[in-house]
Amino acid sequence: MKGFRFRKIRTRLLTIVMAGALLGMGSLTLIYLSTSIALLETKRNHQVETQLAILATNISAAVIFEDEQSAHELLSSLQVDGDFLAISVTKTDADFQAVELFQAARKYTWENIPEAFSGESFSIPVILDGEAIGELTAYVSDASLVAQVTSTVEQAVLVFMVISAVIYLLSLRLQKAITGPVQALNQVSRKVTEEGDYSLRAPVMSHDEVGELAADFNRMLDQIEQRDLMLEKTVQQRTAELEKLADEFRHRAFHDALTGLPNRALLAERIGSVVAHAKRVNLPFGLFLIDLDNFKNINDTLGHDVGDELLKTIAERLLATMRDEDIICRLGGDEFLIVAEELKHTTSADRIAYKLLRALSEPIVVNNKRLDVTMSIGGALYPEHGTDLTSLKRAADIAMYAAKEAGKNQYKLFHGEMEKTTQHRLMVQNDLRDAVKAGDIRLYYQPQIDAVSGTVYGCEVLVRWRHKKHGLLAPDVFIPYAEESGLIQLVDYYVLDQACQQARMWIDQGKPLVVSINLSGLHFRDKNILEKLRTALETHQLPPEYLGIELTEAVLIADAEVAMAVVSDIKAMGLKISLDDFGVGYSSLNYLRTLPFDVVKLDKSFIHGILTNPQDQRLTEGIMKLAQGLNLRVVAEGVESQEQMDYLVGIHCRLMQGYFFLPPRTCEDFEYWRAHWQPAAVTRDKIMPFPGRR
């Protein structure tokens, strides 16, 4: 059948064996039966023919003499043989016939016997002296033959069934011998599959192919078990590595890669427990925001490698200064944050901050370079200045900017007034860019006077911001924040363009005047300003000698090498260069000797005390003599009285500017003042000839 399947090997094997055996036995049985039936039939026929041949010899005399009685007696002799139904003898060429009917055939006629019984007829001639004188005919029943055949078939079937049973039993033993190892192998493989136990082994029950299969299966299990053990060991090893890697990733995720300190993420995770602890013990904690002063200059001048080493050293000092339970984080760049718990009072925060300042006051040596590093610290207290990380950090950030604005290298604790400064800073940073585009940055001009000749030889441009909401803002109100945000560059570019335009207009009007502008130190960290200067001069066709550049000493200190190169390039363009606020910063006489300055501007702080303070007098006179020796002009800033002017002229300082002459004014007011300026010149015999450039 198409859909029939033997699912088990033993069933298939038994079926194959039995089918083969039955087919063979059946074939043999059929051959045996056919042979036996043929033999029985041949034997019966031979017996009948023999009996008829004997009878034919004996009955020949009765036939020749037509002795019917003798013929009947001889014919009836065959009655003892139950197979004969009827027999007759006839004489050739004579009307002689003797018929003898036996048993069941007696109620029939000779002619009806073939129809009434199943059998065969036999005929042989009756011979006398070699001549056929008659014919002997007999009807023989098949009943005896059929009985013998039936008995033979029954015996054959019985033998077939017995032999089949024997074969079946032998086949069972055979299939068990063959399939037993296979079943055992199957059970072991199934158990291995279900339980995953590779230590199980299949029994080797023979040395044939099945036994080899079991042995191979066991060897396979050996290899799998070994690989499983190795895999388990490898998995354990990889798991340990992954756990270690996960720990490393977690450490990296929550710690700064450079310093190893906790980062923002870990701070955000731990601050909740710090707040909870503060509530529980009812003691405030302090949050300190630390920013290194002028770190960018160190990075730019000495390289990032030095900067990185410096940050690592700073981190080490912070760790050595603070307690183990304090949180020390690096927020990024040169910003650090410290959380100190259980502060008794505000002075505790002050002590911690000043302790940190002292820890960094010692010079740091990196790559054989001594670095004097300072930092500005802003502090905030929980819960006075904030109740979460965001508010506390914002307060500390405001305080830190206040520390920077106060001169850096100091600590400030947050208070409410600082908020106004922060809002102002944000206002400047948000509105200044639009103010430059809208032209709300106004140029104010202050004359520079030759007090001896009384001539106006130049002017300095100072800026004011006409804010739409806050009115006119002085430079000190917004310039520091513009420097901080980098927007000062946009302001300077705008002032440069407007100043060149105005200087050109004065030349066209026949009133040429040197116009000096102040440039932020940010311009002296690269050479982009050089292109801006060239563009402005070319755009307005202004001769370079009518444009002056004023810069402070701080510009040179920040990045001396680049700044000095930019100053030299500016001078090579033909512009006038002034060193502003000389004497109040980190003055270096080497700058005066090596850089091409045209003018030194004496800071107004010296002028304020020049009439009363002997030290200011001596310093001012010393600077004048130094400038004269270096063939530099000196401009005294902040002159506010006739007495100050007279004193300065007396020590050979003839170039001045200040409120005594004119406060910074708009262009219209400056032009009006210039048109009406009629100074009384100081007598020439009181001073030495003005030192000019050789």
pTM beyond 0.85: no
Average pLDDT, integer, range 440-451: 94
pLDDT at 49: 81
pLDDT at 51: 81
Distance from C-alpha of 318 to C-alpha of 109, rounded to nearest angstrom: 147
Q: Of the CATH numbers 3.40.50.300, 3.90.190.20, 3.30.70.270, 1.10.10.10, which one belongs to the domain with range 264-415? A: 3.30.70.270
Lowest mean pLDDT among 64-73, 175-184, 508-517, 615-624: 175-184
Provide the pLDDT confidence category of residue 138 given band limits of 50, 70 and 90: confident
Which residues, including other chains, have CB under 8 Å from residue 209's CB and lie 6 or more apart? none
Tell me the DSSP string of 136-162.
EEEEEESHHHHHHHHHHHHHHHHHHHH
**CB–CB of 312/367 below 8 Å?**
no
- DSSP, collapsed to helix, strand or coil, labels residue 131 as strand
Average pLDDT, integer, range 148-173: 83
Q: How many C-beta atoms surround the C-beta of residue 116 within 10 A?
A: 14
- DSSP, collapsed to helix, strand or coil, labels residue 640 as coil
Q: Which CATH architecture has domain 446-462+488-675?
A: Alpha-Beta Barrel (3.20)
The angle, 0 to 180 degrees and rounded to 10, between the axes of the packed helices 488-508 and 475-485 is: 120
Tokens encoding 269: 């995770």
Distance from C-alpha of 632 to C-alpha of 599, rounded to nearest angstrom: 6
Cβ-in-10-Å burial (0-12, 13-18, 19+) of 626 comes to: middle
Distance from C-alpha of 366 to C-alpha of 304, rounded to nearest angstrom: 12
Per-domain residue ranges for the chain?
34-160, 264-415, 446-462+488-675
pLDDT at 286: 94
Cα-Cα end-to-end distance for the chain: 126
Lowest mean pLDDT among 164-178, 315-329, 605-619: 164-178
Q: Tens of pLDDT along 504-562?
A: 999 999 999 999 999 988 888 878 899 999 999 999 999 999 999 998 876 766 567 78
Residue 75 CA to its chain's centroid (Å): 121
Distance from C-alpha of 505 to C-alpha of 517, rounded to nearest angstrom: 17
With a cut of 50, say whether residue 687 has pLDDT above it: no
pLDDT at 81: 65
Distance from C-alpha of 33 to C-alpha of 430, rounded to nearest angstrom: 122
The alpha carbon torsion through 670, 674, 680, 681 (nearest 10 deg) reads 100
Average pLDDT, integer, range 552-575: 81
pLDDT at 685: 42
Tokens encoding 675: 């048109």
Lowest mean pLDDT among 324-338, 351-365, 584-598: 584-598
Q: What percent of the chain clears pLDDT 90, i.e. is strictly above it? A: 35
**CB–CB of 75/98 below 8 Å?**
yes
HEC string for 369-410: EEECCCEEEEEEEECCCCCCHHHHHHHHHHHHHHHHHCCCCC
Burial 224-254 (b: 16+ CB within 10 A, else e): ebeeeeeeeeeeeeeeeeeeeeeeeeeeeeb
pLDDT at 311: 93
With a cut of 70, say whether residue 694 has pLDDT above it: no
Q: Which CATH architecture has domain 34-160?
A: 2-Layer Sandwich (3.30)
Distance from C-alpha of 335 to C-alpha of 321, rounded to nearest angstrom: 17
Tell me the DSSP string of 211-262.
HHHHHHHHHHHHHHHHHHHHHHHHHHHHHHHHHHHHHHHHHHHHB-TTT--B
The DSSP 8-state label assigned to residue 362 in this structure reads S
pLDDT at 666: 95
Provide the pLDDT confidence category of residue 586 given band limits of 50, 70 and 90: low
Q: What percent of the chain clears pLDDT 70, i.e. is strictly above it? A: 91
Strand partners for 398: none
**CB–CB of 401/409 below 8 Å?**
no
Q: Tens of pLDDT along 75-100?
A: 777 766 667 777 888 888 878 888 87
Lowest mean pLDDT among 131-145, 184-198, 501-515: 184-198
Provide the pLDDT confidence category of residue 357 given band limits of 50, 70 and 90: very high
Average pLDDT, integer, range 383-405: 91
- Choose among 65, 86, 63: nearest CA to 76: 86
**CB–CB of 616/554 below 8 Å?**
no
pLDDT at 535: 95
Distance from C-alpha of 280 to C-alpha of 216, rounded to nearest angstrom: 71
Lowest mean pLDDT among 205-209, 243-247, 370-374, 551-555: 205-209
Average pLDDT, integer, range 303-328: 92
> How far lies 410's CA from each of 167, 285, 293, 332, 380, in Å?
111, 20, 10, 21, 15
With a cut of 90, say whether residue 280 has pLDDT above it: yes
Mean pLDDT of the chain: 84
- Tell me which amino acid residue 502 is: Q
**CB–CB of 328/318 below 8 Å?**
yes
φ and ψ of 258, to 5 deg? -80, -50
Q: Tens of pLDDT along 8-43?
A: 666 777 778 778 778 887 888 888 888 888 888 788
Provide the pLDDT confidence category of residue 495 given band limits of 50, 70 and 90: very high
With a cut of 80, say whether residue 467 has pLDDT above it: yes
Q: Tens of pLDDT along 217-246?
A: 788 877 777 887 888 888 888 888 888 888
pLDDT at 684: 41
C-alpha Rg value of the chain to the nearest Å: 67
Average pLDDT, integer, range 627-636: 89
Cβ-in-10-Å burial (0-12, 13-18, 19+) of 29 comes to: middle
